[in-house]
Copies of this chain bind each other. A is one copy, B any other.
């Protein structure tokens, strides 16, 4: 075991290797369009002041009310505005596109961008069916002449997630054979596009993918769905077709067990919007995160104890820019995006049959 318990408990600088407040200078001016404003677009806006060379030059949004809001945003001060994203792609000279439209419209937009050679930083999921996923996978590449695909899989950037990933890689947990995660959200102020299956897809595809990707990334293992169930119960009028309870069970590549649990039942009075949890158990230790307990580690040699020194938060948008324009290795690789989306779509298909 190369990494002792002391490594995790006592030494702040060792894990704090990522870059809070990191600034990036792009080698050439990059013109970025915003295609849809309902995604987690703030992931990019939040780092804009720290990126030299990136400009939002166009915004497309079909909803008049949202387009009006977009016109007033200081992030779009230098942008042209369109109600039709196809018109935007025809008229604008662009280098990349942030695809923040609804889930049902995403794959088509990504394919259109790829056909124009535009790199895409996309909301998840990148497709709502396996055929579209295959097309998206074919259209982009981490290597060679095709445009690059990024994805707003932001759970990976959490300090606790980075710490657990480090623990797994160091061998501190032994062979990981049991993983569980949870996303429990408040049901409040949900956008209308989430209430229709055509534009939303489903809860497993929307929030499940965050945890499926995180569990695969942290463990370094692919997952195969072995069961799933979802339902929408007791809140019909408000929820539309959006499921408020869901779970999926996976067989891990190494033979272990993984589960993800999703609900929209969190108290509106709770201190945070989401109650995210991750528990990663191996033959030599268990690491676990929740809001209520913080990050806790137990090993064969040590009782459960809180780990307080965590790595700095990363930015999934900044990492996309670094890999696309500065030659850095992808923080979220295309292969990983496709694998997480595929596992999630397959789990959702099982849930529809259950």
Residues of chain A at the chain B interface (Cβ within 8 Å)? 174-175, 177-178, 180, 182, 184, 225-231, 233-235, 244-251, 254-259, 261, 263, 265-271, 281-283, 285-286, 292-293, 296, 298-304, 350, 354
Contacts and interface: CB of A to CB of B under 8 A. Distances in A.
A304 B247 CA distance: 22
A302 to B, nearest CB: 6
B248 A233 contact: no
A281 B267 contact: no
A251 B351 CA distance: 10
Given A228-B226, A234-B177, A292-B293, A247 B268 contact: no
Contacts of A350: 226-227
A267 B226 contact: no
A206 to B, nearest CB: 16
20 contacts: A177-B231, A177-B233, A178-B263, A178-B265, A226-B229, A227-B227, A227-B249, A227-B354, A228-B249, A229-B250, A229-B251, A229-B257, A233-B254, A233-B283, A249-B259, A265-B282, A267-B299, A270-B303, A270-B304, A292-B304
B251 A270 contact: no
Contacts of A244: 177
A282 B265 CA distance: 7
Given A247-B258, A263-B281, 13 more contacts: A177-B263, A178-B247, A178-B263, A184-B281, A184-B286, A226-B354, A227-B249, A231-B256, A233-B283, A245-B256, A247-B257, A257-B261, A268-B300
Contact of A270 (B182, B229, B235, B298): B298
Give the number of times this chain occurs in the complex, counting copies. Answer: 2
Most buried by B among A230, A267, A285, A354: A267
A76 to B, nearest CB: 37
Nearest to A248: B249
A354 to B, nearest CB: 4
A249 B299 CA distance: 28
Nearest to A354: B226
Contact of A303 (B226, B250, B251, B267): B267
A281 B270 CA distance: 14
B227 A302 contact: no
Contacts of A248: 227, 249
A14 to B, nearest CB: 23
A231 B302 CA distance: 25
A300 to B, nearest CB: 6
Contact of A267 (B178, B184, B300): B300
Nearest to A351: B226
Contacts of A300: 267-269
A266 B233 contact: no
Contacts of A281: 184, 245, 263, 265
A283 B296 CA distance: 30
Sorted nearest first, the 10 A-B pairs with minimum C-beta distance are: A227-B227, A267-B298, A234-B283, A269-B303, A178-B245, A226-B354, A231-B255, A265-B281, A247-B257, A249-B249
Contacts of A261: 178, 180, 257, 259
Contacts of A246: 257
A283 B245 CA distance: 10
A225 to B, nearest CB: 8
